[in-house]
A and B are shown apart, each in its own frame.
Chain A
Amino acid sequence: MSEYDDDRELYYLGNEPDYAASVLASGFRAAPELDFAVGDLDDFNFEPFVTAAPRGQTSRTASLLQSSGLLQVDEFQRLVELKRDESSESGTYSPVGLRSLEYVTTPNENLICAICTSPFIKPVELNCQHIFCEECLYDHLKSGIQSASLCPKCRDPIESLCPTSRLLTQLLDELEVVCPNEPCGCKTLHKRYTIHDHVSSYCDFENVPCPAADCERFIPRRLLNGECLHSQLECDECEDLMMEMELEVRVLPTISYSISLTRQQDHIKNKCPSGLLCCKHCALNLRRGDLAEHHARDCEKIPISCRGRIIGCPITGPRQFVNEHMKTCPIALMAPHIQEQNERQSKLQAETSQIRSQLIDLETKFDELEASFKQLSTSIKRERRQSLATGGTVSASRVEELTGRLDELALDHNSRIDNATSENARMHMNFVNESLRNQQQFHTFNATLTVMRNQLNMLSSLRATGNNANNTTNAANAVNAANSGSSGIGLDSVRREPPKL
Chain B
Amino acid sequence: MSNNQKRIGKEFQECTQTPPKGCTVKLVDESNLLKWEIIMDGPEGSIYEGGHFKLLLTLPNDYPFKPPVLNFQTKVYHPNITNDEKGSMCLGMLRADEWKPPNKIINVLKMARGLLEAPNPDDAVETSIAEQYKNDRKGFEKTAKDWTKKYASGK
Contacts and interface: CB of A to CB of B under 8 A. Distances in A.
A12 B73 CA distance: 48
Interface string A116-144: 11100000000000000001100110011
Interface string B1-39: 111111101110100000000000000000000000000
Given A1-B107, A145-B96, A100 B6 contact: yes
A152 interface: yes
B9 A37 contact: yes
B65 A139 contact: yes
B16 to A, nearest CB: 12
Interface stretch (B79-87, B97-105, B129-137, B138-146): B97-105
Nearest to B110: A1
Max chain A Cβ within 10 angstroms of own Cβ: one of B1, B13, B65: B65
A99 B102 contact: no
B93 to A, nearest CB: 10
A135 B3 CA distance: 9
A36 interface: yes
B62 interface: yes
Contacts of A140: 65, 101
Given A35-B13, A115-B101, A140-B101, A99 B6 contact: yes
A129 to B, nearest CB: 15
Nearest to A132: B101
A281 interface: no
A142 to B, nearest CB: 9
A156 interface: no
Given A1-B102, A114-B102, A147 B2 contact: no
* Of listed A43, A147, A148, residue having the most chain B CB within 10 A: A147
A43 B100 contact: no
A152 B3 contact: no
A387 to B, nearest CB: 92
Contacts of B1: 139
A44 to B, nearest CB: 8
B64 interface: yes
Nearest to A44: B3
B54 interface: no
Nearest to A114: B102
A35 B10 contact: yes
Nearest to B98: A147
B149 interface: no
A375 interface: no
A39 interface: yes
Contacts, number: 62
B66 A145 contact: yes
A144 B2 CA distance: 16
B3 A153 contact: no
Contacts of B102: 1, 114-115, 152-153
A139 B3 contact: yes
Interface in A327-373: none
Given A114-B101, A114-B102, A115-B101, A143 B65 contact: yes
A146 interface: yes
Contacts of B6: 36-37, 39, 99-100, 116-118
A19 B9 CA distance: 31
A308 to B, nearest CB: 50
A146 B97 contact: yes
A155 B99 CA distance: 11
B3 A143 contact: no
Nearest to A150: B100
B125 to A, nearest CB: 21
A36 B100 CA distance: 23
A118 B11 CA distance: 11
B65 A145 contact: yes
Interface in A73-120: 99-100, 114-118
B45 to A, nearest CB: 26
Interface string A186-202: 00000000000000000
Contacts of A1: 102-104, 107
A194 to B, nearest CB: 21
A111 to B, nearest CB: 15
Given A100-B6, A143-B66, A152 B13 contact: no
Nearest to A39: B6
Nearest to B2: A43
Interface in A1-31: 1
A116 B13 contact: no
Contacts of A146: 96-97
Contacts of B100: 152-153, 155
Interface string B40-75: 000000000000000000000010111000000000
A114 B62 CA distance: 15
A139 B65 CA distance: 8
B17 to A, nearest CB: 8
Nearest to A115: B101
Given A145-B65, A152-B102, A117 B3 contact: no
Max chain B Cβ within 10 angstroms of own Cβ: one of A100, A116, A117, A153: A117
B97 A117 contact: no
Contact of A99 (B3, B62, B107): B3
A286 B101 CA distance: 64
Interface of A: 1, 35-37, 39, 43, 99-100, 114-118, 135-136, 139-140, 143-148, 152-153, 155
16 contacts: A1-B102, A1-B104, A37-B6, A39-B5, A114-B102, A116-B6, A117-B11, A118-B10, A135-B3, A139-B3, A139-B65, A140-B65, A147-B97, A153-B100, A153-B102, A155-B100
6 closest pairs, A vs B, by CB? A114-B102, A143-B65, A152-B101, A117-B7, A115-B101, A116-B7
